[in-house]
Amino acid sequence: MWAQIAEDLRSKITDGTYRPDTRLPTEAELTSLYGVARATVRQALTALVNEGLIVPRAPRGYFVRLRQPLFYRPQQEFRPQPKTPEMDRFMADHSAEGREPEQRIEVSIVDPPADVKQRLKLNEGELAAVRRRIRYLDGEPFNTNDSYYPLKFVQDTEIMRPVDIARGANEILAENGYPQVRALDEIYVRMPTPDEIRRLELGPGTPIACHICTGLCPDGTPVRVVVNILPGDRHVIVYERDGMDPGKR
């Protein structure tokens, strides 16, 4: 019974009967609307909260979750301008105009986690510098960005200072003899850890994308591993791909 009510509410959210950021009918209203026990209505609502479709905002009730995803384009660092008209349009449609960005930066010297160590090809005992950032939009945490660099490549550079680097950390690496000419992106999808839930203030039913980027020098030396945690309700990841040459097929 509760599953049927959940299904009905779900389709009304999907088809726009209940619009984003508006309040659902109250528990009492739904109880009389469906002619069932209040506990049944509550079970249906809990299911939708866990799916990430609605959010409880006590004492006002349940609201349809508003998704205003931030446009996230890994290719941007190597290709500041979109190459195709479609990407250009997509970016314009998704611009987060008027939202105030802000970030907090923390720099530490660490023995990095095993998976980072392996990607950076660090030997046992070799340390890394990590720049940990939380990015906010309008005061709301949007994503975290932890950038690891082999310490031997970045000590005594600006990368060690916990402030924004206007010309970019990649530029500093290049100036120091480590230009990145290519990168490998891995995207994993999972539920957040308790630590991620806390740092990013995630609600129930909010999975995350973990984007791991490894930046490489011309000779294949990895000089940077970035771990980005992107809450699913706040991001869309976008790539543009150059196609095959129609003459060459």
Is the Cβ of residue 77 or residue 107 nearer to its own copies in the bound state? 77
Which of 7, 71, 79 is CA-nearest to residue 44?
7
- Cα angle, residue 24 at apex, residues 21 and 27 outer, rounded to 5°: 145
**Minimal distance, residue 32 CB to its own copies, in Å:** 25
Sign of CA dihedral 101, 227, 171, 78: negative
Q: 61 phi and psi, to 5 degrees?
A: 130, -155
State the residues that interact with its own copies by CB under 8 A: 3, 7, 10, 50-52, 69, 74-75, 78-79, 84-87, 90, 171, 174, 179-191, 193-194, 205, 207-209, 214-216, 218, 220, 230, 232-233, 235-246, 249
Report the residue number, 137 or 236, with the smaller CB distance to its own copies: 236
CB of 91 to its own copies, least distance (A): 11
Q: How far is CA 173 from the centre of its chain?
A: 25
Query: At its nearest, how many Å lie between its own copies and the CB of residue 182?
Result: 4
State how far the Cα of 57 lies from the Cα of 221, in Å rounded to an integer.
49
Q: Which is nearer to its own copies, 137 or 197 (CB)?
A: 197
Is it true that the peptide bond before 59 is cis, omega within 30 degrees of 0?
A: yes
Q: In the bound complex, what is the minimum distance in angstroms from residue 149's beta carbon to its own copies? A: 16
**C-beta closer to its own copies: residue 105 or 176:** 176
Which C-beta is closer to its own copies: that of 145 or that of 180?
180
Closer to its own copies by Cβ: residue 58 or 114: 114
Give dist(CA 79, CA 88) in Å, integer: 12
Longest dimension (CA), the chain: 71
Question: Which tokens sit at 145?
Answer: 């960005």
* Cβ nearer to its own copies, comparing 23 with 83: 83
Q: Rounded distance, CA 240 to CA 74, Å? A: 10
In the block, tokens 């986690």 appear at 113
Q: Give Cα separations from 159 to 37, 45, 116, 139 (angstroms).
A: 60, 47, 18, 25
> Which of 70, 78, 67, 61 is CA-nearest to residue 24?
61
Q: Least distance to its own copies from the beta carbon of 179, Å?
A: 4
**Least distance (Å) between residue 40 CB and its own copies:** 17
Q: Give the nearest distance from C-beta 205 to its own copies in angstroms.
A: 5
